[in-house]
Amino acid sequence: MIFSGCRRLICGAAAAGRRPVFIPEEALVKSATAYLLFDGDAEEAFTFYQSVLGGELQMVRYRDMGDGGGGNLPDEVGKRIANAALTWREDQLLMGSDCPPDQQINHDNVPFSVCLDVDDEAEAGRIFTGLSAGGQVTMPLGKTEWAQQFGMVTDKFSVPWMINLYGGE
């Protein structure tokens, strides 16, 4: 059931077994961009995301940063991705980078999911299947109270995703 004046909801609560929280349309932000951090595999991850989502991918390595002294970095650091930007569809942007080697990323308890809103069931299935390759499905793609299609997967880079096709009953 969709409440009058509400088109979206916070899916995490429902996915965690709690009652979904419906958010009025006027309370939604126009856009938010996820910025993902990787431990040396940002290039592989973003190439994978481009193969699943399509779009245009731009990446800059630390060694190519110009005035930032990138040419003076050890090769281990210089070859890492300083910034990656994947623009898919007309209005969707996913960004990220590699952390410096002395910073560690803890994937044991990730406090977020990247939530993608899609246009139709075919797109939902294609993206969900693509992100599932080498990853782990945490909630199969299917109909829910709030969505025609909703599913959750943690990809092979330990990034959790939610795929949404709104329009539930």
CB distance 144 to 79 below 8 Å: no
Kindly indicate the confidence band of residue 12, based on its pLDDT and cuts at 50, 70 and 90: very low
* pLDDT recorded at residue 65: 79
CB distance 108 to 81 below 8 Å: no
In tens, the pLDDT along 91-144 reads 789 999 998 777 777 777 777 889 998 999 999 999 999 999 999 999 999 998
Crossing angle of helices 121-132 and 42-53, rounded to 10°: 150
Domains (range + CATH), the chain: 31-105 (3.10.180.10)
- Which residues, at least 6 apart from 86, have a Cβ–Cβ distance to it below 8 Å? 46, 49, 50, 53, 55, 56, 57, 93, 94, 95
Kindly indicate the confidence band of residue 145, based on its pLDDT and cuts at 50, 70 and 90: confident
- Which residues, at least 6 apart from 54, have a Cβ–Cβ distance to it below 8 Å? 88
In tens, the pLDDT along 60-100 reads 998 887 655 556 778 888 899 999 999 988 778 999 999 87
